[in-house]
């Protein structure tokens, strides 16, 4: 299982890539593996506001529904509509093609709460 070092992570199993004031958000390899075959995704509209720790969308496997939690607060600048049509990309390429939303970061102070790759890996080891 992969946890790229250049990404930040949350305990709700999202990853974040920060570039300037824009954060790209997706779910981790661990999350996609736990979910199993992803068959449905619901994402917010461009321009929507997301709030840290609040659900911003939904991902469904064959068996179950899971909320997606925003790692940061801000407004959505871009949505990856391609994964709505091909949700299996979330299983195949969770850190690449299957990014979910880009958020304009409202409060840079929240960045400090994100986990490093090592911290996240330790967290999921303990959770198992």
Partner 1 sequence: MLKKTPLYDIHKALGAKMVDFAGWEMPVQYTGVIDEHLAVRTSCGLFDVSHMGEIEVSGDSAIDFVQFVMTNDIERVTDGQCQYSPLCREDGSVVDDTIVYRFNIDRYLFVVNASNTAKVLDWFKQVQKKEQFPDLVIEDLSGIYSQIAIQGPKSVEVMKPLLDIDPGQIKTFRFHMGLLLGEIEAVVSRTGYTGEDGFEIYLDPSDAPAVWQALMEAGKPFGIAPIGLGARDTLRLEMGYPLYGHELSDEITPIEAGLGKYVKFTKDFLGREVLEKQAANGTERALVGIKMIDAGIPRAGYEIHSNGKKTGEVVSGTSSPSLKAGIGTGFVATKLKAPGTEVEVVIRGRAAKAQVVPLPFYRK
Closest CA to 116 of 26, 27, 3, 12: 3
Nearest residue (CB) to partner 1, 40 versus 113:
40
Tokens 């303990």 correspond to what residue? 126
51: tokens are 């709030």
Closer by beta carbon to partner 1, 10 or else 61: 61
Provide the total of helices (H) and of strands (E) in the chain, helices listed first.
4, 9
Residue 66 CB contacts under 8 Å (≥ 6 apart), including other chains: 35, 58, 59, 60
Does residue 65 touch partner 1 according to CB under 8 A? yes
Binding residue (CB under 8 A) for partner 1 from 61, 66, 73, 80: 61
Residue 76's SS3 state is strand
Q: Least separation, in Å, of the C-beta of 10 and partner 1?
A: 22
Q: If binding is defined by CB under 8 A, does position 128 make contact with partner 1?
A: no
How many residues in the shown chain lie near partner 1 by CB under 8 A? 12
Enumerate residues 25-44 that contact partner 1 by CB under 8 A.
Answer: 36-37, 39-40, 42
- Torsion angle of C-alpha atoms 5, 34, 115, 45, degrees rounded to 10: 100
For partner 1, give the closer residue by CB, 37 or 113: 37
- Give the footprint of partner 1 on this chain (CB under 8 A): 36-37, 39-40, 42, 58, 60-63, 65, 91
């Amino acid at each position: 299982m992969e946890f790229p070092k250049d990404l930040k992570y949350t305990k709700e199993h999202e990853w974040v890539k920060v570039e300037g004031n824009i954060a790209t958000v997706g779910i981790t390899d661990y999350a996609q593996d736990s979910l199993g075959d992803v068959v449905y995704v619901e994402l917010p509209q461009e321009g929507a506001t997301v709030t840290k720790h609040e659900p911003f969308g939904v991902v469904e496997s064959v068996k179950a529904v899971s909320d997606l939690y925003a790692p940061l607060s801000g407004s959505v600048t871009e949505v990856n509509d391609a994964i709505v049509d091909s949700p299996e990309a979330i299983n195949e390429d969770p850190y690449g093609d299957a990014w979910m939303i880009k958020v304009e970061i409202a409060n840079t102070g929240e960045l400090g709460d994100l986990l490093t790759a090592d911290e996240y890996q330790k967290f999921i080891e303990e959770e198992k």
